[in-house]
């Protein structure tokens, strides 16, 4: 792994376990196995480093849609999106913890948030097209988007919570169908 990625990984690990306020750059450097100065060769400030992690995750999320097949039925596409996204965060629980902690933080810049919004553009189009075909309810698209996002979020919170170890693929299927029922016409 190159240095830039080591730093990102180290920062992700420490930020999610200790929090922003308890993760000095020196600790990140130590964890990454570099000198502190090296971090600053790649990221001009701590704030930029945090935002880079944010953007990085959002872009990986976006990449999940790269091979979307727009000829499949809307419902199939939706299920694929929904389950892929949940799966992505289950495979990368630190990404989820990071987003939980920093999604609403003023440290995330507007530029980063814009990248975040663009990342879900494919889903917006899927929903719009579903509304057009009267497959999905005629509710404000951004509201539907938030609803779906909230469902993903709540599932992940439940699944990854310390006091749960009963998560299974059946419960995800349940949720997917609950959500589809809620938004379908």
Partner DNA sequence: AATGAATGAGACTTCATTCAT
Partner DNA sequence: GATGAATGAAGTCTCATTCAT
Identity of the residue, 70 or 146, whose beta carbon is nearer to its own copies in the bound complex: 146
Closest CA to 146 of 162, 127, 133: 127
At closest approach, how far in Å is the CB of 28 from DNA? 8
Q: What is the Cα 63 distance to its own chain's centre?
A: 11
Q: Does 41 bind DNA (CB under 7 A)?
A: yes
Segment interacting with DNA, rule: CB under 7 A, options 43-51, 62-70, 84-92, 118-126: 43-51
**Exactly one of 9, 13, 31, 46 binds DNA (CB under 7 A); which one?**
46
184: β partners: 136
Task: Return the ∠ at Cα 98 (arms to 26 and 164), rounded to 5°.
Answer: 120
Q: Which of residues 153-172 bind its own copies (CB under 8 A)?
A: 153-155, 157-158, 161, 163-164, 166, 171
**Exactly one of 143, 165, 169, 185 binds its own copies (CB under 8 A); which one?**
143
At closest approach, how far in Å is the CB of 1 from its own copies? 26
From residue 172, alpha-carbon distances to 29, 63, 114 in Å are: 38, 22, 29
Which ranges of 19-133 does DSSP label H, i.e. alpha helix?
25-32, 36-42, 46-63, 74-91, 93-102, 110-119, 121-132
Q: Say how far apart CA 60 and CA 88 lie, in whole Å.
A: 9
**Exactly one of 24, 73, 93, 149 binds DNA (CB under 7 A); which one?**
24
* Count of residues engaged in binding DNA, rule: CB under 7 A: 20
Segment interacting with its own copies, rule: CB under 8 A, options 36-44, 55-63, 128-136, 143-151: 143-151
Q: Say how far apart CA 24 and CA 29 lie, in whole Å.
A: 9
Interface residues with DNA (CB under 7 A) are: 3, 22-26, 29, 33-38, 40-42, 44-47
């Amino acid at each position: 792994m190159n240095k830039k990625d080591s730093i990102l990984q180290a920062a992700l690990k420490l930020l999610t376990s200790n929090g922003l306020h308890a993760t000095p750059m020196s600790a990140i450097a130590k964890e990454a196995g570099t000198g502190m100065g090296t971090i600053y060769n790649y990221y001009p400030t701590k704030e930029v480093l945090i935002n880079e992690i944010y953007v990085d995750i959002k872009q990986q999320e976006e990449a999940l849609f790269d091979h979307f097949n727009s000829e499949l039925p809307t419902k199939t596409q939706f299920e694929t999106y929904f389950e892929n996204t949940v799966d992505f965060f289950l495979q990368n629980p630190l990404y989820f913890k990071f987003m939980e902690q920093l999604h609403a933080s003023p440290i995330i810049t507007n530029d980063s948030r814009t990248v975040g919004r663009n990342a879900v553009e494919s889903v917006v189009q899927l929903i719009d097209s579903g509304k057009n075909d009267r497959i999905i309810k005629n509710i404000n698209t951004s509201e539907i988007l938030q609803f779906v996002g909230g469902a993903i979020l709540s599932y992940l919170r439940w699944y990854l919570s310390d006091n749960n170890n009963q998560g299974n693929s059946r419960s995800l299927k349940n949720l997917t169908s609950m959500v589809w029922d809620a938004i379908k016409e």
